[in-house]
Structure 1
């Protein structure tokens, strides 16, 4: 039987996942596997999507549904529950839908080689599902963090309060917003870029374009920079392992590390 995999999101024509998995299936000669984009205008269309695609065997979830998808799932992995966001769905042997978060795994593994002892605190730009996964990874790495938001939110810093002292205290700046994504490449988070130094890391979850305006500004001040491509590859491969791991009949958590 052919196995269908796919990505759920909104306005996802730019998708990394479809190209990545299509090429992977061709390279590994997995002729019974295919990957499609499912662009949903509302998450309420999800049950209809399931009915119309009975061969679905695994799904990725992207903006803006990483949190909104949760009520439609039967179970979450332990870490997805702690994070409060899902980017990977496994169709279990008994027909249940189980949500996982592989974003945090991809981010953690990709940033680890860049970290130095002085990287003790991080600013997370944005408060969506991706930022929650990044926060979880930072907790595991023992790095303190503060969210930054355009709107007034509890436990989040307003962009207008970021200054030189902020940059002295936070050595890791992570963009989890969509600002700067193609085709809107002239956009970037409203922070004072002049305060970046060679002691800072600027990490952007965006991978298209390869170097966003956020990264260009940080790089011009000597900061270490990295985009989100490696994170995406790592989370995609972790998702592939989850989809292909046999479910256990009692439907316990099959991978507590995700």
Structure 2
């Protein structure tokens, strides 16, 4: 049981656009738990001191976001197997001064797919991007039993590194050359297309762009853009116009947060309460 008021926080730098405090606080409040969820802007030079503060306090745990997901690992006592695969942490649980690191991004990705009745098992999947989000997605696809993963990235060396990671997990994967004809061919093969890049993100120079040629999209695919603001990116609009099913990143954000809540509290996350808060917060931001 929780008694005196405790703290959970998200740490990153910068943090002004984080939605975690909104929907995580709603989850704690739904159970009437005496927990305050805070946002701590932590520059890289302060990371070690903050982890010491967490360890020595009654803080239940923290969420980790950019740029600390990899840098936090040396300060933790135990790492979940998925962290060892992905090489990044997004959730820390403080168990009596012992810090455990987890990554809920991949499981959140799979739960979001399951919510719309889609399983990657036996599917050819095109993953666009090769950064941290793509690593989490590829590890999740391997665990889910994807038939083959096609990895497209502007920097081929990073795509090859992700193929090597997939191979180490027993997942068949190949690099897709970053040129229009190859991207179109890969998209036409895939039953699931996942954008793990920031192309299309609101208030960025690429907001009006898509990471893929429109001809790569087809009616038999689910096109999943991990971006959630805007709710419909150019990629998703083009996919919808070509008859494909579409999914944005809001549900992945929701479920990775719900899984973190469950790690901290041992209670089922109040998912619909959290979802309503997320949607309302995004609507306010426009």
With the shorter chain as reference, the TM-score category is 0.7 to 0.9
Mapping of 1:145-164 within 5 angstroms? 145-153=149-157, 154=160, 155=163, 156-160=175-179, 162-164=182-184
In 1, are the aligned partners of 2:212 and 2:235 still within 8 Å (CA)? no
Corresponding residue of 2:100: 98
For residues 158 and 38 of structure 1, do their structure 2 counterparts lie closer, same or farther at Cα, with a shift above 3 Å needed? farther
Q: CA deviation at 1:146?
A: 2.6
Corresponding pairs, count: 243
**Aligned residue number for residue 274 of structure 2:** none
CA distance in 1, matches of 2:155, 2:78: 31
Q: Which runs of 5+ in 2 are unaligned?
A: 164-174, 268-286
Match of 2:254 among 233, 236, 241: 233
CA-to-partner distance for each residue in 1:88-146, whole Å, 9 max, x for gaps?
111112x1211111111111121134437997211212222221121121112221213
DSSP-derived class of the 1:56 partner: coil
Contact 1:121 1:169 in 2 (8 A): yes
Measured on the aligned residues, the alpha-carbon RMSD in Å equals 2.4
Contact 2:223 2:239 in 1 (8 A): yes
Q: Give the Cα separation in 2 of the matches to 1:209 and 1:180.
A: 8
| Secondary structure of 1:243's aligned partner | helix
Question: Counterpart in 2 of 1:109?
Answer: 111
Whether 2:199 is the aligned partner of 1:179: answer yes
**Is the CA contact (8 Å cut-off) linking 2:186 and 2:216 kept in structure 1?**
no
**Which of the pair is proportionally richer in helix?**
2
- Cα distance change, pair 126–78 in 1 and its aligned pair in 2 (3 A): same
Deviation at 1:26, TM superposition (A): 3.2
1:191 has 2:212 as partner: yes
* 2:37 is the counterpart of 1:46: no
Check if 1:139 corresponds to 2:162.
no
2:179 is paired with a residue whose SS is helix
Q: Is the 8 A contact 1:151 1:158 kept in 2?
A: no
Q: What is the distance in 2 between the residues matched to 1:86 and 1:29?
A: 28
- Aligned pairs for 1:1-258 (under 5 A) are 1-30=4-33, 32-42=34-44, 44-51=45-52, 54-93=57-96, 95-112=97-114, 113-115=116-118, 120-143=123-146, 144-153=148-157, 154=160, 155=163, 156-160=175-179, 162-184=182-204, 186-245=207-266
Q: How many angstroms apart in 1 are the aligned matches of 2:109 and 2:121?
A: 19
- Return the TM-score normalized by structure 1: 0.84
Tell me the TM-score normalised to structure 2 length: 0.76
Q: Structure 1 residues 116 and 71, CA, compared in 2 at 3 Å: closer, same or farther?
A: closer
Deviation at 1:5, TM superposition (A): 0.9
Contact 1:125 1:147 in 2 (8 A): yes
CA contact (8 A) 1:2 1:55 kept: no
Distance across 1 between alignment mates of 2:128 and 2:209: 11
The structure-2 alpha-carbon separation of the partners of 1:18 and 1:189, relative to structure 1 and needing over 3 Å to count, comes to same
